[in-house]
Amino acid sequence: MNNPARRQRPTIHDVARVAGVSRGTVSRVLNGGHHVSPAAAEAVNAAIRRTGYVVNRHARSLITGRSGSAAFLLTEPQERFFEDPNFNVLLRGCTQALAAHDIPLLLMIAGSRDEQRRIVRYVTAGHVDGVLLVSSRTGDPVAAQLARAGTPVVACGKPMDPRAGRLAHVAADDREGAREMVRHLLSAGRRRIATIAGPQDTPGGVDRLAGYREVLAEAGLPFQETLVETGDYGRAGGRACAERLLARHPDVDALFVASDLMARGALEALGDAGRSVPDDVAVGGFDDSSAALASAPALTTVRQPWDRISQEMVRVLLDRIAGEDTSAVILPTELVVRETG
């Protein structure tokens, strides 16, 4: 207007004029093409190509009440996620799965309380049609607030909170993954199997420990509290846990570790203690993160299907946005046998 240099973008009006039809017909072609004659549709498409028309999403959103976008929301301990290469796979997978539906992804990070409030306001104001939530800790207030406001939410990973039963989520089968790994160690003849569990306020930590206990019980082996150490998913923690386990049980012949990072720390501790892996002690990790291959020996681990998880999260979210009440999705893990066990 006041700026003559700025080119006016073509509107649906221009397309209608060029095609020799009305706005309504162009709109119908844009959204599904029902109740439009082939001739009109062809004329409209040609006009769209000729004018280079692109729909104005703001105008559309204003009338439909939908934004046509979704948020990828990260809450709480961001550092852990940002250091985890698997997180990148998840983020990329979600971005591309949404892009296939022409839905842009908004990345939001809720660190401080202020940021959380700001994001909740933004989302509940309807600026986003749904939320892909990543938050491993229990009792996330953001999830509850969004759910209360009626915003479609799909979480990554099983929520701890039993009250959050209605929260849709997509997760790998941690328990079965742990079971498979421990069965694998047993079938290799290991009998004194210790575990380094994850934090017990995370569902992954709980379920992987549960799987470990179950398989030992099924194999008729006694469960010993002293064979369990609990770490923080980090490398240093894994190392310390392994040192304590070795001090208590020098005769341990296998270690099931709830994360690859902790497993790497455990490998260092085993090396320092003069144990050979896997001859003296077998080690099984969890995650199949890049840490599993970071150095020799390559880690035997449990792979979580992050690419499929992201695809399913998007699918479930779109279902929920469309009003369908898709329930939780649990995906199988995969045992990856490498050199440590």
Taking the least distance from each CB to DNA, the nearer of 31 and 295 is 31
| By the rule CB under 7 A, 60 interacts with DNA | yes
| Alpha carbons 204 and 157: distance in angstroms, whole number | 8
CA distance 156 to 308: 12
Q: Which does residue 37 touch among a second copy, DNA, none (CB within 5 to 8 A, set by kind)?
A: DNA
9 touching DNA, by CB under 7 A: yes
The answer to the question of residue 323 lying near DNA (CB under 7 A) is no
Q: Of residues 46, 49, 64, 272, which one binds DNA by CB under 7 A?
A: 64
CA distances from 100 to 22, 65, 93, 94, 305 (A): 30, 22, 11, 10, 20
Can you point out the beta strands (E) in the chain? 70-75, 105-110, 130-134, 153-156, 168-172, 193-197, 228-230, 254-257, 282-284, 301-303, 329-331, 334-336
Q: Least distance to DNA from the beta carbon of 22, Å?
A: 3
Q: Which is nearer to a second copy, 125 or 337 (CB)?
A: 125
* Rounded alpha-carbon distances, angstroms, from residue 333 to 11, 172, 287: 49, 6, 9
Q: Could you tell which of a second copy, DNA, none binds residue 40, using a CB distance below 5 to 8 A set by kind? A: DNA
271 lines the binding site for a second copy (CB under 8 A): no
Question: Other C-beta atoms within 10 Å of 17: how many?
Answer: 16
Span near DNA by CB under 7 A; candidates 3-11, 217-225, 247-255, 318-326? 3-11
Question: Residue 42 is encoded by which pair of tokens?
Answer: 């062809």
Bond into 222 cis (ω within 30): no
Phi, psi of 151 (to 5 degrees): -75, 130
Count of residues in contact with DNA, rule CB under 7 A: 31
Q: Which of 55, 89, 147, 298 binds DNA (CB under 7 A)?
A: 55
* Residue nearer to DNA on the CB measure, 19 or 193: 19
Q: Which is nearer to a second copy, 56 or 226 (CB)?
A: 56
The total of other beta-carbon atoms located within 10 Å of residue 116's CB is: 19
Q: Are 196 and 264 in contact (CB under 8 A)?
A: no
Going residue by residue from 15 to 54, which x/- string records binding to DNA, judged by CB under 7 A? -----xxxxxxxxx-xx--xxxx-xx------------x-
Residue type, 283: V
Where on the chain is the footprint of DNA (CB under 7 A)? Answer: 2, 8-9, 11-13, 20-28, 30-31, 34-37, 39-40, 53, 55-56, 59-60, 62-64
Where on the chain is the footprint of a second copy (CB under 8 A)? Answer: 4, 6-7, 9, 54-59, 61-62, 67, 69, 72, 78, 82-83, 85, 87-89, 91-92, 95-96, 99, 102, 104-109, 111, 115, 118, 121-122, 124-127, 150, 290, 294-295
